[in-house]
């Protein structure tokens, strides 16, 4: 009987240990362990000096814009796309998935579907028309009285 008791205790300890290890891995799975790169693409020449930085943790991507001389920038939407890496080049093409916007003002934050590296999240930004005189109304998802003025591309690899 004592022999079975020790076996049962050992089995319980193994099960508890496996559960703790799998919980630790599931907590880490939401954080990118590779590199990130943020690329700012401005429509108007006066915003070309902008830079961006970003991160991804627990399914949420956060991005900050710097050196852009305006305060009322709004995040319109963000799209996620799986990529492929070949040597030092990233290729992002194919189907996109929409991320849900958590914060449309700085720091901008979205929740995206689960993904594996490498990947890209593209953030589209708007300004009110009264702020911007050079207005680019080039895409259909833009609300009335706003101007698309740039996008940030956050790469994970």
pTM, full prediction: 0.71
User: What's the CA dihedral at 34, 156, 117, 73 to 10 degrees?
Assistant: 140
CB 77 within 8 A of CB 141: yes
> Residue 81: what pLDDT?
94
Q: Which of 5-14, 97-106, 123-132 is predicted least confidently?
A: 5-14
Domain limits of the chain?
A: 1-29, 36-156
Question: Sheet of 108-111: strands edge to edge?
Answer: 36-42, 146-156, 119-128, 74-86, 89-103, 108-111, 60-66, 51-57
Q: Give the pLDDT confidence of 137-146 residue by residue, as tens digits.
A: 555 556 667 7
């Amino acid at each position: 009987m004592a022999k079975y008791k020790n076996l049962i205790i050992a089995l319980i300890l193994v099960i508890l240990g496996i559960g703790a290890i799998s919980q630790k891995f599931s907590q880490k799975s939401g954080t990118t362990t590779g590199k990130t790169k943020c690329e700012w693409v401005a429509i108007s020449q006066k915003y070309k000096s902008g830079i961006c930085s970003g991160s991804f943790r627990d399914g949420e991507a956060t991005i900050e814009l710097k050196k852009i001389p305006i305060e009322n920038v709004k995040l319109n939407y963000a799209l996620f796309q799986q990529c492929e890496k070949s040597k030092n080049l990233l290729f992002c093409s194919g189907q996109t998935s929409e991320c849900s916007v958590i914060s449309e003002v700085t720091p901008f934050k979205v929740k995206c579907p689960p993904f594996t590296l490498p990947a890209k999240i593209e953030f589209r930004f708007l300004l009110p028309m009264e702020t911007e005189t050079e207005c680019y109304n080039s895409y259909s998802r833009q609300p009335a009285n706003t101007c698309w003025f740039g996008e940030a591309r956050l790469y994970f690899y």
